[in-house]
């Protein structure tokens, strides 16, 4: 058939292509003139490529008369049918009626509903359950001609104009026009069903002036209005006095989340900015959530960030690689926009549309390997803001716009930026009560800063944020591997900030800097990487069941995260203890409310800051410094916390377990105190036994949970061993932990130091011999001499109780009495670790069999690795940190049975 196509746009171009493909002769294409920048309409471009005649008409008629030259041009083509796929011009009836089969028009609604120009919008605004398209015969009314064919589809609750158009109206519309033309060509009397006037609706064109949201209607109607105008022309309102267009609406059926109130003009209730967007109220008290906002300055932002502090970022220096990225972005923009650029050129104001957004994103991925989303283009519409977003993405910086209150500390030839407020929902906020506690530097007793101290009400807010993130946030929808990617990224950022973290740890906990770099921070980084690798290796089993004929059954198990986990950690390795627990907990897919030790919480807050840069979604990690009996207890008691991971003393562990049983019955794993024996036989490598023996006690100034709490030395070498130990202890350099030559820093805090001094006093009172040390150093700071207490008998206080400090407690055992010393080593209520030094491997392995401890060292000590499970027996608790076992502490098993 000879066809003239009258219309425009990509839709028109696709109609042109399909009709041509299916053997019709397109005798001419009538479309609009090139745009202001000289760019032809896509329909014109498609036709010109094939050498088809193209007419770019400004107008068809003058004073109600068709222009003669237009009429003549048209007539000469000899078209048998006019196809109008999408046409914004008024086409005179002389042209409509001239061809043998006259003219058919595509209309994106189920006529007679929604006649007029904004039909898709009104389909959604009216909440229609069905949408569709009509191909009708043109007449002289507005969308009134008889119907040739119609196609319909179901409307989903959150469909927007774009979604409906892309999913159905565009692809099916093209097929429908093709089908309609075939019907005309192949049938004698193609359908002409007259439209029923009683069901007809006519609605006005939607423009900005009639797109202000009316809040005096139910939430569903508000939702329909917003999605019915999304993205063009966009529903708008006034928030805090600023005109804002809203996108990405959904009905909110969950609990009202925690958030910040925002004033809404002409609404009975303020809106709420929260981690997943902005909540708006209808007059029925129900709510609608919107995800993006277009601000007055043309910038699109996530609704969750409305009203946050200044978010402009400027890139400082670009590397040569980044210069190349900028240059290729410039090329892509130029080829799309067909014009010169400057830094402020706005992609959309320069004429780009939604297809150009797709093209920009795809070309950037192709040329520079940077994967941005369509929304990133809307949110960064100017050239320089887009370049910035792309470069930050290439640097792996999720959100370089992140602003927070902090203190600056100058130390170790560095300027440290230190957050000191509670971290909830990816924001640093003060405690609701305003409470703070000072962070003291144990090396000189100075105040580093005031740290916010969380109370019960802050715990409630943080748990709600974590629950929301677990149940509905991006975290819950993310693939396991993507979670791993975030964790790897966090580990990389920790590596980049390693010196800063180690300095902070040193200042806040008294850790010797060189040890902090290697162990406190180094092992923390390894822990994050180790568990990041586990995220996509968590799976269950397939279990065959006894068959119940004639059907078959099969069960499989799934390992699922538990939910919101409360983590409570001590002060001895502040960041490492946090990392051991949190990395395993997050790898399993849970969300976290962490209470670090009140006395050393700064590196946990710094970790929180880095997690934002790594791209962790809001609510996944929440960090609440505060007192154990207040904040810690509130986490333990909270009904929405499903599991507690605790490291600390046995006494507090017992109390926590009791609370977990009494109030909510939650799972708990406890890494508790220890009194770990180290047995040294005379047949050992004595040099090594002395060197490692010292480390087993004085490593990290004795503030080490697996520290050897009691050394048993065989009678034969007892005096020699003690002499050599004291010689070595005298050589230990005590002092400023940031001094690289120092090996022994201050104790963590004053109360702990006082406890240690009492411990030594008690030992001596009961008859132990103080061979070395035992005193506080006469200088500022919480320094204690490395101490050696010997001739300790089994019934003494120091033989039974943990010191958690730099105090070596030594007892003698009878030559060759393996059984006796094993019994004495096990005669403690704890069971965290144990060690033995001997060259007799049989003896060593027999000891290893008989030690009642979760970790046993042979001819070594303190050698832990992220892949080796760590945790105690007896009153040292249960549940493991590290290794494959640890991830299971944060998973629960679900069994699913199928019949087939
Ligand atoms: P802790 O007094 O038991 O405190 C541990 C954590 O629990 C701190 O964050 C503390 O808060 C908090 N807490 C206190 N009372 C609480 C309550 N009622 N509810 C909830 N949380 C509460 O222990 P620590 O003095 O910090 O640490 C030393 C102990 O930890 C030693 O016994 C050591 O052996 C043990 N430890 C064990 C391991 C292991 O892996 N097994 C590792 C390291 C340390 P505050 O900030 O208010 O104190």
Of 340, 348, 245, residue with least CA distance to 296: 245
Asked if residue 892 is part of any domain, the answer here is: no
User: For the chain, what is the domain count?
Assistant: 5
Q: What angle do CA 591, 593, 595 make, to 5 degrees?
A: 150
* Top-confidence residue, 377 or 1: 1
- pLDDT, one tens digit per residue, over 753-806 is 999 999 999 999 999 999 999 999 999 999 999 999 999 999 999 999 999 999
Asked if residue 311 has its Cβ within 6 Å of ligand 1, the reply is no
Asked if residue 70 is part of any domain, the answer here is: yes
Strand partners, 710: 677
Q: What is the pLDDT of residue 396?
A: 63
**Annotated binding residue at 630?**
yes
What distance in angstroms lies between residue 511's CA and the mean position of ligand 1's atoms?
18
The encoded tokens of residue 121 equal 């919008």
Q: What is the pLDDT of residue 333?
A: 95
Q: Do 859 and 726 reside in the same domain of the chain?
A: yes
**Annotated binding residue at 632?**
yes
Q: What is the pLDDT of residue 316?
A: 66
Task: Find where tokens 């402020």 sit.
Answer: 344
| CATH code, 286 | 3.10.25.10
| Pocket probe mutation, ligand 1, options 651, 652, 854, max atoms within 8 Å of Cβ | 652
3-state SS, one letter per residue, for 109-122: CCCCCCECCCHHHH
Q: Do 156 and 30 reside in the same domain of the chain?
A: yes
Asked if residue 890 is part of any domain, the answer here is: no
Ligand 1 atom 19: the closest Cα is on which residue?
Answer: 633
Q: Do 648 and 520 reside in the same domain of the chain?
A: yes
- pLDDT, one tens digit per residue, over 673-692 is 999 999 999 999 999 999 99
Asked if residue 627 has its Cβ within 6 Å of ligand 1, the reply is yes
| CATH code, 687 | 3.40.309.10
Is the model's pLDDT at 469 over the cut of 80? yes
**Residue in 87, 660, 684, 705 annotated catalytic:** 705
**Residue in 24, 107, 223, 752 annotated catalytic:** 107
| CATH code, 387 | 1.10.1200.10
Q: Do 121 and 67 reside in the same domain of the chain?
A: yes
The encoded tokens of residue 180 equal 């309609």
Dihedral pair phi/psi, residue 204, rounded to 5°: -70, 160
Q: pLDDT-based confidence at 710, cuts 50/70/90?
A: very high
- Determine the atom of ligand 1 nearest the C-alpha atom of 598: 46
Ligand 1 atom 22: the closest Cα is on which residue?
Answer: 628
Mean pLDDT of 345-362: 86
Counting DSSP H helices and E strands in the chain, the numbers are: 29, 38
Q: How many C-beta atoms lie closer than 10 Å to residue 415's C-beta?
A: 9
**Annotated binding residue at 631?**
yes
What distance in angstroms lies between residue 601's CA and the mean position of ligand 1's atoms?
13
Task: Find where tokens 């796929």 sit.
Answer: 85
**Annotated binding residue at 143?**
yes
Q: Do 274 and 140 reside in the same domain of the chain?
A: no
Is the model's pLDDT at 455 over the cut of 50? yes
- Determine the atom of ligand 1 nearest the C-alpha atom of 633: 19
Ligand 1 atom 16: the closest Cα is on which residue?
Answer: 628
* Cα–Cα distance measured from residue 577 to residue 588, given in angstroms and rounded to the nearest whole number: 17
**Domain closes at, from 281, 305, 329:** 305
Assess contact for 99 and 82: CB atoms under 8 A. Answer: yes
Strand partners, 877: 671
Structural domain of 224: 208-305
Q: What is the pLDDT of residue 311?
A: 44
- pLDDT, one tens digit per residue, over 520-560 is 999 999 999 999 999 999 999 999 887 767 778 889 999 99
Asked if residue 571 has its Cβ within 6 Å of ligand 1, the reply is yes
Cis preceding-peptide flag for 19 (omega within 30 of 0)? no
**Neighbour order of strands in the sheet with 25-31:** 54-56, 25-31, 2-6, 81-84, 103-107, 130-137, 147-154
Q: What is the pLDDT of residue 310?
A: 45
Strands 447-452 and 436-440: antiparallel
The angle that helices 320-337 and 354-368 make with each other, rounded to 10 degrees, is 150
Q: What is the pLDDT of residue 353?
A: 82
Assess contact for 11 and 44: CB atoms under 8 A. Answer: no
Assess contact for 742 and 736: CB atoms under 8 A. Answer: yes
- Determine the atom of ligand 1 nearest the C-alpha atom of 881: 40
Asked if residue 94 is part of any domain, the answer here is: yes
What distance in angstroms lies between residue 662's CA and the mean position of ligand 1's atoms?
20
- pLDDT, one tens digit per residue, over 66-125 is 999 999 999 999 999 999 998 888 899 999 999 999 999 999 999 999 999 999 999 999
Is the model's pLDDT at 900 over the cut of 90? no
Percent of the chain with pLDDT over 70: 98
Asked if residue 629 has its Cβ within 6 Å of ligand 1, the reply is yes
Q: What is the pLDDT of residue 355?
A: 79
Asked if residue 703 has its Cβ within 6 Å of ligand 1, the reply is no
Q: Do 627 and 506 reside in the same domain of the chain?
A: yes
User: 107 catalytic, yes or no?
Assistant: yes
**Residue in 671, 703, 714, 889 annotated catalytic:** 671
Asked if residue 133 is part of any domain, the answer here is: yes
User: 638 catalytic, yes or no?
Assistant: no
Q: What is the pLDDT of residue 400?
A: 52
* Cα–Cα distance measured from residue 575 to residue 50, given in angstroms and rounded to the nearest whole number: 67
Strand partners, 294: 245, 300
Q: Do 217 and 175 reside in the same domain of the chain?
A: no
Asked if residue 647 has its Cβ within 6 Å of ligand 1, the reply is yes
Q: Do 667 and 682 reside in the same domain of the chain?
A: no
**Annotated binding residue at 709?**
no
- pLDDT, one tens digit per residue, over 180-206 is 999 999 999 999 999 999 989 999 999
Q: Do 667 and 681 reside in the same domain of the chain?
A: no
Q: Do 742 and 649 reside in the same domain of the chain?
A: no
Asked if residue 710 is part of any domain, the answer here is: yes
* Cα–Cα distance measured from residue 336 to residue 434, given in angstroms and rounded to the nearest whole number: 53
**Domain closes at, from 620, 638, 671:** 671
Asked if residue 876 is part of any domain, the answer here is: no
Asked if residue 259 is part of any domain, the answer here is: yes
Mean pLDDT of 733-743: 96
Is the model's pLDDT at 27 over the cut of 70? yes
Q: Do 219 and 121 reside in the same domain of the chain?
A: no
Ligand 1 atom 18: the closest Cα is on which residue?
Answer: 629
* Cα–Cα distance measured from residue 744 to residue 399, given in angstroms and rounded to the nearest whole number: 39
Query: Per mean pLDDT, which range of 37-51, 142-156, 210-224 is the poorest?
Result: 37-51
Ligand 1 atom 33: the closest Cα is on which residue?
Answer: 673
Assess contact for 702 and 753: CB atoms under 8 A. Answer: no
**Domain closes at, from 648, 671, 694:** 671
Q: pLDDT-based confidence at 575, cuts 50/70/90?
A: very high
* Cα–Cα distance measured from residue 537 to residue 588, given in angstroms and rounded to the nearest whole number: 10
Which 3 state secondary structure label does DSSP give 900? coil
- pLDDT, one tens digit per residue, over 313-353 is 566 678 889 999 999 999 999 989 988 898 889 898 888 88
Q: What is the pLDDT of residue 37?
A: 77
Ligand 1 atom 13: the closest Cα is on which residue?
Answer: 628
Is the model's pLDDT at 305 over the cut of 90? no
Contacts of 42 (CB under 8 A, 6+ apart): 8, 9, 10, 12, 13
Burial class (CB in 10 A: 0-12, 13-18, 19+), 729: buried
Of 785, 792, 790, 791, residue with least CA distance to 756: 785
| CATH code, 661 | 3.40.605.10
Asked if residue 630 has its Cβ within 6 Å of ligand 1, the reply is no
User: 671 catalytic, yes or no?
Assistant: yes
- CA 207 distance to own-chain centroid: 37
Of 261, 292, 316, 628, residue with least CA distance to 453: 628
- pLDDT, one tens digit per residue, over 261-291 is 999 999 989 999 987 899 999 999 999 999 9
**Annotated binding residue at 681?**
no
**Annotated binding residue at 629?**
yes
- CA 400 distance to own-chain centroid: 15
Q: Do 215 and 264 reside in the same domain of the chain?
A: yes
């Amino acid at each position: 058939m000879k066809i003239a196509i009258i219309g425009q746009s990509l839709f028109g171009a696709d109609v042109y292509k399909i009709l041509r493909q299916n053997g019709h002769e397109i005798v001419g294409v009538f479309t609009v003139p090139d745009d202001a920048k000289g760019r032809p309409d896509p329909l014109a471009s498609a036709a010109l490529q094939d050498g088809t005649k193209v007419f770019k008409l400004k107008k068809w008629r003058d004073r109600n008369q068709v222009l003669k030259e237009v009429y003549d041009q048209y007539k000469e083509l000899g078209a048998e049918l006019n196809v109008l796929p999408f046409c914004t011009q008024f086409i005179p009836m002389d042209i409509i009626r001239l061809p043998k089969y006259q003219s058919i028009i595509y209309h994106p609604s189920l006529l007679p509903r929604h006649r007029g120009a904004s039909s898709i919008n009104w389909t959604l605004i009216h909440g229609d359950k069905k949408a569709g398209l009509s191909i009708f015969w043109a007449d002289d009314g507005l969308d009134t001609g008889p119907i040739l064919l119609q196609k319909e589809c179901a409307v989903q609750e959150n469909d927007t104009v774009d979604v409906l158009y892309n999913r159905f109206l565009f692809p099916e519309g093209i097929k429908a026009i093709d089908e309609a033309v075939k019907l005309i060509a192949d049938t004698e009397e193609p359908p002409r069903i007259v439209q029923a006037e009683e069901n007809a609706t006519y609605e006005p064109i939607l423009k900005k002036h009639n797109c202000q949201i009316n809040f005096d209607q139910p939430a569903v109607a508000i939702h329909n209005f917003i999605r019915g105008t999304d993205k063009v022309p966009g529903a708008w309102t006034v928030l805090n006095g600023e005109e804002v267009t809203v996108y990405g609406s959904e009905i909110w059926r969950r609990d009202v989340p925690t958030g910040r109130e925002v004033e809404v003009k002409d609404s009975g209730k303020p809106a709420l900015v929260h981690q997943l967007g902005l909540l708006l109220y209808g007059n029925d008290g129900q709510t609608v959530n919107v995800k993006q906002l277009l601000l007055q300055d043309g910038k699109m932002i996530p609704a969750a960030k409305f009203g946050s502090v200044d978010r402009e970022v400027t890139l400082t220096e670009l590397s040569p690689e980044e210069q190349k990225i900028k240059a290729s972005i410039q090329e892509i923009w130029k080829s799309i926009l067909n014009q010169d650029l400057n830094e402020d050129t706005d992609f959309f104001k320069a004429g780009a549309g939604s297809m150009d957004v797709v093209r920009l994103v795809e070309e950037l991925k192709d040329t520079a390997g940077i994967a941005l989303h369509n929304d990133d283009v809307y949110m960064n519409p100017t050239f320089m803001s887009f370049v910035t977003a792309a470069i930050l993405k290439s640097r792996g910086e999720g959100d370089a716009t992140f602003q927070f209150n902090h203190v600056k500390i100058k130390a170790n030839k560095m300027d440290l930026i230190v957050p000191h407020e509670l971290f909830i929902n990816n924001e640093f906020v003060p405690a609701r009560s305003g409470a703070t506690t000072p962070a003291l530097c144990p090396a000189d007793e100075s105040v580093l800063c005031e740290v916010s101290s969380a109370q019960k009400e802050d715990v409630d807010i943080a748990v709600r944020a974590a629950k929301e993130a677990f149940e509905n946030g991006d975290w819950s929808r993310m693939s396991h591997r993507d979670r791993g990617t975030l964790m790897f990224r966090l580990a990389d950022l920790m590596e980049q900030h390693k010196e800063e973290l180690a300095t902070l740890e040193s200042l806040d906990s008294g850790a010797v800097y060189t040890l902090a770099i290697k162990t406190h921070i180094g092992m923390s980084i390894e822990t994050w990487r180790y568990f990041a690798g586990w995220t996509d290796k968590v799976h269950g089993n397939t279990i065959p069941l006894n068959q119940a004929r004639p059907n078959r059954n099969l069960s499989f198990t799934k390992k699922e995260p538990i939910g919101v986990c409360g983590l409570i950690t001590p002060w001895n390795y502040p960041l490492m203890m946090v990392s051991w627990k949190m990395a395993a907990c997050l790898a399993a897919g849970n969300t976290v409310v962490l209470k670090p030790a009140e006395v050393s919480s700064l590196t946990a807050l710094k970790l929180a800051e880095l997690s934002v840069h790594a791209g962790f979604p809001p609510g996944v990690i929440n960090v609440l410094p505060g007192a154990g009996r207040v904040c810690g207890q509130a986490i333990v008691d909270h009904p929405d916390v499903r599991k507690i991971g605790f490291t600390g003393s046995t006494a507090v562990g017992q109390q926590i377990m009791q609370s977990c049983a009494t109030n909510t019955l939650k799972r708990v794993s406890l890494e508790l105190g220890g009194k770990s024996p180290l047995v040294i036989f005379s047949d050992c490598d004595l040099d090594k036994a002395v060197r490692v023996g010292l480390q087993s006690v004085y490593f990290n100034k004795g503030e080490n949970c697996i520290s050897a709490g009691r050394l048993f030395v065989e009678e034969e070498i007892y005096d020699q061993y003690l002499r050599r130990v004291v010689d070595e202890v005298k050589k230990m350099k005590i002092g400023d932990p940031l001094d690289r030559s120092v090996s022994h820093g201050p104790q963590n805090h004053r109360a702990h130091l006082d406890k240690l001094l009492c411990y030594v006093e008690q030992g001596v009172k009961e008859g132990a011999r103080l061979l070395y040390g035992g005193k506080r150093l006469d200088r500022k700071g919480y320094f204690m001499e490395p101490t050696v207490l010997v001739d300790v008998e089994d019934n003494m206080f120091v033989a039974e109780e943990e010191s958690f400090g730099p105090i070596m407690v030594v007892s003698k055992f009878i030559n060759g009495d393996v059984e006796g010393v094993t019994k004495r080593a096990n005669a403690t209520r704890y069971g965290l670790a144990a060690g033995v030094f001997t060259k007799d491997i049989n003896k060593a392995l027999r000891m290893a069999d008989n030690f009642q401890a979760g970790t046993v060292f042979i001819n070594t000590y303190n050698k832990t690795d992220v892949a080796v499970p760590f945790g105690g027996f007896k009153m040292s608790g249960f549940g493991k940190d590290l290794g494959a076992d640890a991830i299971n502490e944060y998973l629960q098993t679900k069994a699913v049975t199928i019949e087939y």
